[in-house]
Structure 1
Amino acid sequence: MKIASIVCTFPPYAGGIGNSAFRINELLKDKNEITVFTPATTKPWFRYGLGAFMPQLFWKLNKFDYIYLHYPFFGTAEVVWFFKLFFKKPKLILHYHMDVRGLRPLARLLSWPSRLIRRSLLNQAETIITASLDYIKKSQIKNYYAAQPEKFKEIPFGVDLEKFQPKIINQKINDQAISKAQKIVHYVNDKFIKKHRVNVLFVGGLDSAHYFKGVEVLLNALFLSTNRNWRLRIVGEGNLRTHYEEIAQHLKINNQVEFVGNLSEADLIRTFQEADLFVLPSINSNEAFGLVLIEALACGVPVIASDLPGVRRVFEDNKQGLLVEAGNVNDLTKKLELIFNDEKRRKNMALAARQLAEQKYDLKKIKIHLESLFI
């Protein structure tokens, strides 16, 4: 099948929707021909944030069997909608990543057309994919889901378990005769021997489009912690990085906070493996799942994440990690200290994290579900 993959961002830009689109394309490319349509720096007629108006797309879509639209995509989702008013083919698969939100006046103005045509666009879709029905049931399209639940298909994001895995640091257990599960137990045991400082990790965009990631909440929560034996590594880049660095300096914790920028996949995996705790402190429902959460779980890293629709179903509270009230600095401090002060809890959560990733987020299993859509 020929598939037009339409997405607002795509690697090397670091962003959750683009990264998930890339992974989905990789899973589908064995049996399909994928063409990606995403804004270039100079070609869109108009661009604002992660949105772009690309009317030239209208004349290209009839060459495909399927349109795979990653929603939201301000400006271009409207082009797809307009195209589908005139043409029944190609079929439309809509991947609903998150709600359309605009906080600033210009953003609200530009998002208005998306909200206006959204129901019609959903009607045009043959299938609506979501990573979490829990998110959909609380989203701006909850009434649409209630009326037509059969159109929705829940397919969680997946992770490559061969790449994202705990590092086996004890060379004595590298014998293939020892099961992978046993190796992970050895890894966790070795990781906690003679180790006192807790390495905390955050991975996410540091630009205005990702304001909701809650970096400021995390910095303030760590500042309030009575346990000072931690170090925070922040992976990501963007125009808000300087602002966050200034906050760390103002709180006088900058000597414990390291901003490392964007990393290659190999370096990112190594950074996950070195972490003792991963935190996703998102402040609102712009965070609908958290791809980085399952990457952390796959590497055997306990997680703390905001109790938000979608996010709260990625793992089991008190088993692989802890849920925290979104935007609540004091609650995050409390949950951080529960992890900091209880090595046994961290160890048990680390083991449970990898087990969950293998059971629920194996890319090989996700691939089967995705391929079934394109027949």
Structure 2
Amino acid sequence: MKVYFLSYNLMNTSTGDYFITLSNKLSEENVVVVIAGKIRETNIILKEDITVLKWPSERPNSWKDFWFLYKLIKTYKPDAMLSMFSFVNPFLIVGWFLRVNIRVAWIRTLSSQYAQKRYKVIRKSLIYSLATNIITNSNTTKKDVSNFFKIPKCKITVLPNSVKDYSDTLLEETTNKKNLLYVGRLHPSKGIDVLLRAFSTLLKRFPNFHLDIIGQGEILKELIALTESLDISKSVSFLGEHKKEMVLKAYKKSFCTIIPSRSEAFGFTVIEAMSVGTCVIGANNTGIKEIIKHEETGLLFETGNPNDLVQKLQIVILDVDYRNSLAQAGYQRFIECYENSVAINRDVEFFNKLIIDDTKI
């Protein structure tokens, strides 16, 4: 049996769902050790034969974390190490030092979200160079990672994000034909100001519509001030962060979910909204346009253009049957391409092949 080390946060999130499911699948034929930063209650339970350990620090960057990992590798002698986010640094550095054969790092964000200080970019580039393989969630991210961190494209594989199909748990939820939704961080790159300006115009024709905004971030006060200046405060609700169950219900309730990001590595909210069968409208850029097939599985609007977003919203508001057909086609695309069970089988096959190919060398 081969030994896999994985490092991620055990949390009730779409990312947590994916990595827990991946760990469970890998454990069917391999030894799996999960090293977590955060351990919280989850919807999906790790199998009992999986060893779960916790980093000394939530963000493992101290000598204690590196020494902790060093001893674990010496004990278990893993064949492959898979990591993401803040866990990449110790996994790649210690894994390389101890000559672990397969060292995989996930990159799920664009360089525009990364600190642009030159020494940090150089440092991260050097760390990524220690990986045998890099996984990105879209072709957009692959191109960006290759250019920004100077990683050869031959070293990068695209494995799109995936989420669990929770549609069966939402059968009692009904769609509110006058409710629009945004879910995500409140950050300048997310284009929420574009959405608010579009919604302000939309209200002139459809005054009974309401916009819910779920998420927290650094520009909350600015966005609230913008709603006040546009005189739409009574029609917009800033709901803050919510547990996953509540977010899924919000997707299901919404007549349309809007993703107005100015750039997006992939767009988790796109497939989450599709997974519950709601209509999705997204900005026509980067990772978003890799998921939404315009006028087939959703609609795309010109990035940063509130007037074009208004036009796209009016199309689905005035033609509910068309809106429903887009929602159904979006759900079908989700099932075929982005549902966890499909993605897990694809990804496990990829990782097992890495080990098989390595043994042939």
> In which range does the TM-score fall when normalised by the shorter chain?
0.7 to 0.9
CA distance in 1, matches of 2:132, 2:269: 29
Match of 1:5 in 2: 7
Of the three residues 145, 149, 160, the one matched with 1:156 is: 160
Match of 2:37 in 1: 37
- Supply the AA of the counterpart residue of 1:113: Y
The answer as to 2:121 corresponding to 1:115 is yes
**Aligned-residue RMSD, C-alpha:** 3.2
Match of 2:51 in 1: none
Q: Deviations over 1:263-302 (max 9, x none)?
A: 2222222111111101111113xx2111111111111111
- Summarize the Cα distance change of 1:70–1:243 in structure 2 as closer, same or farther, 3 Å threshold: same
- Where in structure 1 are there 5+ consecutive unaligned residues? 13-17, 46-50, 170-186
* Contact kept in structure 1, 2:292 and 2:300, CA below 8 Å: no
Q: Secondary structure at the match of 2:7?
A: strand
Match of 1:58 in 2: 66
Q: Deviations over 1:330-365 (max 9, x none)?
A: 222222222222222212112112111111122111
* Contact kept in structure 1, 2:103 and 2:131, CA below 8 Å: yes
Q: Deviations over 1:67-87 (max 9, x none)?
A: 32324x4xx755555435533
Percent sequence identity over aligned pairs: 21
CA distance in 1, matches of 2:119, 2:24: 32
Q: Deviations over 1:10-65 (max 9, x none)?
A: 747xxxxx7425532343135122111369xxx869xxxxx884443221223242
CA distance in 2, matches of 1:140, 1:155: 14
CA distance in 2, matches of 1:234, 1:148: 37
CA distance in 2, matches of 1:144, 1:246: 37
The answer as to 2:236 corresponding to 1:230 is no
- Supply the AA of the counterpart residue of 2:205: N
The TM-score normalised by the length of structure 1 is 0.74
The answer as to 2:281 corresponding to 1:304 is yes
Match of 1:100 in 2: 111
CA distance in 1, matches of 2:146, 2:66: 26
CA distance in 1, matches of 2:139, 2:68: 32
Alpha-carbon distance, 1:167 to partner? 4.1
- Supply the AA of the counterpart residue of 2:270: L
Q: Secondary structure at the match of 1:101?
A: helix
The TM-score normalised by the length of structure 2 is 0.77
Q: Deviations over 1:154-175 (max 9, x none)?
A: 22222211x1458445xxxxxx
Q: Secondary structure at the match of 1:108?
A: coil
* Contact kept in structure 2, 1:4 and 1:37, CA below 8 Å: no
Q: Deviations over 1:161-190 (max 9, x none)?
A: 1x1458445xxxxxxxxxxxxxxxxx9xx8
- Where in structure 2 are there 5+ consecutive unaligned residues? 40-55, 356-361
Q: Deviations over 1:90-121 (max 9, x none)?
A: 63111121233368xxx433xx3342144443
CA distance in 2, matches of 1:343, 1:294: 21
* Contact kept in structure 2, 1:277 and 1:302, CA below 8 Å: yes
Match of 1:323 in 2: 300
The answer as to 2:312 corresponding to 1:335 is yes
- Summarize the Cα distance change of 1:56–1:67 in structure 2 as closer, same or farther, 3 Å threshold: farther
Q: Secondary structure at the match of 2:295?
A: coil
